Amino acid sequence: MRRERISQLAHAHHPVASPLGDESVRRLLERGLGDEARHVLDLGCGSGEWLVRALVTYPRLRAVGVDVSESALTRARHTAQILGVADRLDLHQADAADFTSTQLFDLVLSVGAAHAFGGLLATLAAAREHLAPGGRVLAGDGFWERDPSPDAVEMLGDFTDLATTVDRVTVDGWIPVYGHVSTRHELDAYEWDWTGTLASWALDHPGDPDSSHALAAAATHREEWLRVYREAFGFVCLVLRRNSEGSV
Ligand SMILES: C[S@@+](CC[C@H](N)C(=O)[O-])C[C@H]1O[C@@H](n2cnc3c(N)ncnc32)[C@H](O)[C@@H]1O
């Protein structure tokens, strides 16, 4: 069973592929876009939930999304059509690290996709290349709430604690103008939705050749979450600006 199909099925009830509730996504977009934004870019946009929500809320906004996943982009296109915003959304199937554009953007988003760039600071460096003067970056990445086990590091990557994460960002010349730390409820809801929706699909489709694999994948993921990383993993979204000279 392809990873992409697992991910598509698992996200059916939680289309934002990051541990954030709808109200958190709304507020982060509001703080990232402000009143003036006209162009937004999402590097690692997945199924385009952030962009589509922004386009629905801000009728003068135009959006560009980049992702390697063809199936995620197909879902983004479909959602945008249903919600009547497809004419303001450009989607590119590409490696986000290599994406170039002549357009500069008032907001560059990258949530849960830092691995595509080699970490949070590399993500910010890539985002900066696309940023209009005075623009903002909305970046979301993991951090360690508690010391992780070696298995958790192996599974999720090498994060630091929250204060160190923010320190590194500010030393790099970024100024946080808003932030959101996913709550225990948001972190758990994401995992219950992911594992539970995939398991439900398997139970509802016993004749599908992928059914038993999906059920096993849901069980493995739930086990890893509960035993390996639930206590250690946190997730933070930062809305960042640079000062007018581009340095602090
Ligand atoms: C955890 S999901 C987050 C999706 C979206 N930002 C959200 O919050 O709903 C990570 C996304 O990064 C995409 N991705 C991974 N590597 C990538 C790369 N090199 N270039 C572009 N997208 C990439 C995946 O296909 C996936 O859609």
* Ligand 1 pocket residue status of 96, Cβ below 6 Å: yes
**Topology given in CATH for the domain delimited by 14-183+232-241:** Rossmann fold (3.40.50)
46 C-alpha to ligand 1 centroid (Å): 5
Percent helix, percent strand, percent coil in the chain, to nearest 5: 50, 20, 30
* Ligand 1 pocket residue status of 67, Cβ below 6 Å: yes
Determine the 3-state secondary structure of 67 from DSSP. Answer: strand
What's the pLDDT at 4?
86
Instruction: Name the residue at shortest CA distance from atom 7 of ligand 1.
Output: 17
Q: How many helices (H) and strands (E) does the chain have?
A: 9, 7
Q: How many CA atoms lie within 13 A of 16 on its CB side?
A: 22
* Ligand 1 pocket residue status of 17, Cβ below 6 Å: yes
Per-residue pLDDT of the chain (248 residues; tens, 9 = 90+): 788 889 999 999 999 999 999 999 999 999 999 998 999 999 999 999 999 999 999 999 999 999 999 999 999 999 999 999 999 999 999 999 999 999 999 999 999 999 999 999 999 999 999 999 999 999 999 999 999 999 999 999 999 999 999 999 999 999 999 999 999 999 999 999 999 999 999 999 999 999 999 999 999 999 999 999 999 999 999 999 998 654 44
Contact yes or no for 179/238 (Cβ under 8 A)? yes
* Ligand 1 pocket residue status of 240, Cβ below 6 Å: no
What's the pLDDT at 3?
85
30 C-alpha to ligand 1 centroid (Å): 22
207 C-alpha to ligand 1 centroid (Å): 31
What's the pLDDT at 244?
66
Q: What pTM value is reported for the model?
A: 0.96
What's the pLDDT at 84?
98
Contact yes or no for 107/136 (Cβ under 8 A)? yes
Sequence-ordered alpha helix ranges (H) in 97-183: 120-129, 150-156, 162-171
Residue to mutate, 2, 29, 45, ligand 1, most ligand atoms under 8 Å from C-beta: 45
- 């590091």: which residue's tokens? 153
Q: Rounded to an integer, what distance in angstroms lies between the CA atom of residue 90 and that of residue 10?
A: 25
What's the pLDDT at 247?
46
